[in-house]
Structures are given as structure tokens and as C-alpha cells.
Amino acid sequence: MKAALIGFVSGVVIILIFVLLKRIEKKLIYGMILAVIGFLYVGFTWSDFGLFSINTLQAIFFLFLAYYGIKSNSYILIAGYFLHGIWDLVYSQAANTALIPPHYDLFCSTLDFTVGVYLLIIRYQLGVKAKV
């Protein structure tokens, strides 16, 4: 529960920082964050070739989601955050998590869902032509 609270607070802090920094291209920043979070798993699992391979593939998948979310459609970027949150939860149930920090799944999935919900609300409020 503590990890989920820290993930939520971290997500809110990220959102607030970018709300306050009005000149920053937010869609690009949120895309870069999505691209990077997938690669954290690669760093955690480099010593186990099987997990390393799986995590490299998922990191590349989220990298492409981030790229296409930035370039074409912010709904792809939003979906990327939700999918990564689901990845966090599924990974903790399906894979050997000995190499992952304790409670990382709750922290990261909560952060992902917080940012994803925020981006979805903003996208909905601003309409189809708005930038995230």
C-alpha cells in the first residue's frame, strides 16, 4: 500500500511540474517518460538472459508506443501508460520478480495509471484538436 501511495504522489508531482512549466512540450515529455520506464526492467534483469530478453522486447514495444503517441495520436500515448501499468501488474504475477525491487509493481503501476488518467481527462476536456 505504501508503494502505491508513493507511486500516486510521484505521478501527481510529475503532472504538477509539467503543468507549472507551460513552455515545455508536454506530449514530448510524457512520451519520453513512457519510453524510459520500460527500460527500467531491462536494467533490473540484465543478469538473467531470459528475463532480459523479454524485458528488452517490452521496452522496445513501449518505446514505439511513445514514438507513435508523440508523432501521431495522443490516445496511443495514453494507451501506452495504461498498458505499462497492466504490464507492471501482470509481470509481478507471471515472472520471477527476485531481480525487481520490492513493491515496484505497485509503485510503477500506480504512477502509470495516475498519469494515464490525467492525460485522458486533459485530452477529453480539451477536445480532439488539443495537444496533451
Domain ranges of the chain: 2-126
Mean pLDDT throughout 76-104?
Answer: 91
Alpha-helical regions (H) of the chain: 2-20, 26-44, 49-71, 74-94, 104-126
Single-letter amino acid, residue 30: Y
Of residues 116 and 130, the one with the higher pLDDT is 116
Q: How far apart are CA 1 and CA 47, in angstroms?
A: 29
Mean pLDDT throughout 5-10?
Answer: 89
Residue 67 has pLDDT above 90, yes or no: yes
SS3 for 131?
Answer: coil
Residue 132 has pLDDT above 70, yes or no: no
Q: Using alpha carbons, list the distances in angstroms from residue 40 to 24, 28, 75, 89, 121.
A: 24, 19, 23, 15, 27
Answer for the pair 51, 92: CB distance below 8 angstroms, yes or no. no
Mean pLDDT throughout 56-80?
Answer: 95
Give residue 89's pLDDT band: very low, low, confident or very high (50, 70, 90). very high
Residue 131 has pLDDT above 60, yes or no: no
